[in-house]
Structure 1
């Protein structure tokens, strides 16, 4: 049977949790829509609509759904790792797990990076790269931060899954407590740089909630949602946290970069809320037509996410190139153009997905093993686990570094600070490619 959406949907086992697939697609689609709506583009550069109209910032409590994506990631990683461990016990399971999780994530990401790098280099060699073009080159890689964080979650799944299996909710509580301690040291004691630890503690705590869902341990979603929402409201109302759950230009404190305890509380209420919808959604997803649509969307979701900003910038570039004025953001003329811009951005994203979707397709699976195991199991490739771990660290550091440097100043040595170390875009790209090679092409065993 082919790998068409209809064939994959028809072959879906009855035990599959279809709601998780819907959440994955829905969370990415919401992020894409949020980016398209929040972009305040003028001929001089790019801003954020939420900074222009602060009254819209409460919408981020609905549109900031990255916690849902990481929550779903935890669920999927738990199931995937346990399945591999059952079928492939031994030291090689970690390397196999990394390769399986990274195949469909990093291939389309590296293609996106290489295409944009080539374009940025050509543009800057020709003397371009200022004004709106320069702003585009700076922001085009910013959404890659989430891929870097996701890679860290993949790398840490085995030890954190063992921690979950031993302590359950206690493992989540430990990570949440560590996030609270970091914010206390940051805001009450003024300890410098400690806040960056919450890139790990906050997002890993959300990821841990996915483990709890995988084991059916989120039994009171209404209580979880209410507690998370109440905590988020209290922290924003009485603490040092801003209202917006996304970063705002010029703010001294952002709930996103680095993440705060308020963002973790926001993640709790979102987790509880989506769990409350699980049963009715599961009933709807038994309808063949709807399920085929979800399967089809999952097959292109990462490609669509990677190229959606390119599509949005293409729409604005076309508008300027055709001589149409860009109204001031949030004016009546600007709002009147919003529906047309969204339709055009969706159409251009679809065209880009059609061009690049093949890089997201899974590679051919190996032939199934014989039912009877051989008398002896071949030893894993020497150092394959260590090489894979090194590779994923290089990947995540490279992708995070590129999200910070952007592609502006590509030829002039522009740097950004990554974990107290200056990094350039070429260095970040080299690290990501080298890491990909280590994870996906492990050293062969000695013969």
Structure 2
């Protein structure tokens, strides 16, 4: 089963030079209906980094320094949607904006750009950026769960003492870090599912790590058989995500999540390599509409406990996200800055992109923490009347939504600087504007 979650990748600029030659099997195509086509979009660039040089012996142009603010905006919207989804639980949000597919596509585009450098150094760099923020989160979450009474040795889901090794996933998330589904009691300060809520989204880090490790092979395959590599994950999802082949336990979850979102990750490759820009727009949109129509048809007959929530329907999630991402990237403008009224979002967009991992890791735990904080409002003198209490009851989720953003801001200040240290940048508490360049390695 897939779940909904954040993204992890920084935005980048689109190259100003002509697109590289298409991979084998991709003919050059031209669509003159809308005037000259823009050059192929580069993957997101890391904050404060200069352009990566073109790989030796290739004809792929180097991506220029700077940020593609359109990609930054997509990541910002994906993060906001994730927080709203986990708070309100609205199933239709998974259809309105498939955040995870968007974030994996953006991360895949960045990975393709980075793989102009040696693959092992790129993988090490990605792990260096991912793991310290996870360690900080685990250093807070694990003691809280232990203090609340969780004993991994007695947890039947971990298989006793042999399952203790799964705790190592809090160090390197080869699998999803373990947690108890219920902890505490209904009369406690927190809801009994608070640990599940806090740690559940960590599946994303496992999937991200798998994609990072597999990317050199995936990119090699994409450059040789692009369409087969692009569509193979959908075929795999049709096998492992529909019950045709059943893989049990955490391994089955990991394989299913990989299959569901691998198509979006490879779409990031296609965006960076300029493949999508060479497909006529009418053809790309028409095919995407077919994928998305199939997704809705399949979801209508295979609904889970939350009905139209695509996170419970792997094949619908995979095909809907795939079509949605194709359209987003096919119409991608090249923005060096946000245009018009969107410019008002410049600082929030910049902050969200600089602290994407922190926001993703902490948001669900902070939603949980907002509940006992908000409950204190019932003790205020003017809340003692039935009318005031009823009003708070009816608007409780809205107040939780308003409270969680200041709490996320506190988490950014308290833990976000770890992302800078992990990226070898000068640490900043509130990176809502341009920062200094990263120190060059000797």
TM-score band by shorter chain is 0.5 to 0.7
Q: Return 166-175 or 67-76, whichever deviates more.
A: 166-175
User: Residues 97-116 of structure 1 correspond to what in structure 2 (within 5 A)?
Assistant: 97-116=122-141
User: Residues 2-151 of structure 1 correspond to what in structure 2 (within 5 A)?
Assistant: 13=64, 16-38=67-89, 57-82=91-116, 84-85=117-118, 93-94=119-120, 96-124=121-149, 129-131=184-186, 132-151=190-209
Taking the aligned partners of 2:149 and 2:241, their CA distance within structure 1 comes to: 41
Taking the aligned partners of 1:100 and 1:123, their CA distance within structure 2 comes to: 35
Q: Tell me which residue corresponds to 2:291.
A: 228
Taking the aligned partners of 2:144 and 2:241, their CA distance within structure 1 comes to: 41
> How many residues in Structure 1 have an aligned counterpart in Structure 2?
318
Q: Tell me which residue corresponds to 2:315.
A: 261
Query: Does the alignment pair 1:207 with 2:265?
Result: yes
Equivalent of residue 368 in structure 2, options 313, 320, 338 = 313
Question: Do the aligned partners of 1:9 and 1:295 also contact (CA within 8 Å) in 2?
Answer: no
Taking the aligned partners of 1:133 and 1:311, their CA distance within structure 2 comes to: 13
C-alpha deviations, 1:189-240, integer Å up to 9, x for none? Answer: x756496543322222221111111112123342243122211122123x43
Deviation at 1:124, TM superposition (A): 2.9
Q: Secondary structure at the match of 1:129?
A: coil
C-alpha deviations, 1:264-300, integer Å up to 9, x for none? Answer: 1111232133225522866735987755543332111
CA 1:224–1:295 in 2, change beyond 3 Å: closer, same or farther? farther
User: Residues 132-211 of structure 1 correspond to what in structure 2 (within 5 A)?
Assistant: 132-183=190-241, 186-187=243-244, 193=248, 196=253, 197-211=255-269
C-alpha deviations, 1:87-122, integer Å up to 9, x for none? Answer: xxxxxx41x112211222221111011111122223
Deviation at 1:9, TM superposition (A): 7.8
Q: Tell me which residue corresponds to 1:342.
A: 401
Q: Tell me which residue corresponds to 1:351.
A: 410
Deviation at 1:73, TM superposition (A): 1.2
Taking the aligned partners of 1:303 and 1:284, their CA distance within structure 2 comes to: 23
Taking the aligned partners of 1:107 and 1:10, their CA distance within structure 2 comes to: 20
Deviation at 1:357, TM superposition (A): 1.1
Q: Secondary structure at the match of 2:395?
A: helix
User: Residues 317-396 of structure 1 correspond to what in structure 2 (within 5 A)?
Assistant: 317-323=372-378, 334-361=393-420, 362-364=423-425, 367=440
Q: Tell me which residue corresponds to 1:240.
A: 302
Unaligned runs of 5+ in 2: 1-46, 52-63, 151-182, 426-437
TM-score when normalising by structure 1: 0.62
TM-score when normalising by structure 2: 0.63
Q: Greater helix share, 1 or 2? A: 1
Q: Return 282-291 or 199-208, whichever deviates more.
A: 282-291
CA 1:98–1:224 in 2, change beyond 3 Å: closer, same or farther? same
User: Residues 254-293 of structure 1 correspond to what in structure 2 (within 5 A)?
Assistant: 254-255=312-313, 260-275=314-329, 277-279=331-333, 284=338, 291=346, 293=348
Unaligned runs of 5+ in 1: 1-7, 39-49, 51-56, 86-92, 248-253, 370-447
Question: Do the aligned partners of 1:24 and 1:69 also contact (CA within 8 Å) in 2?
Answer: yes
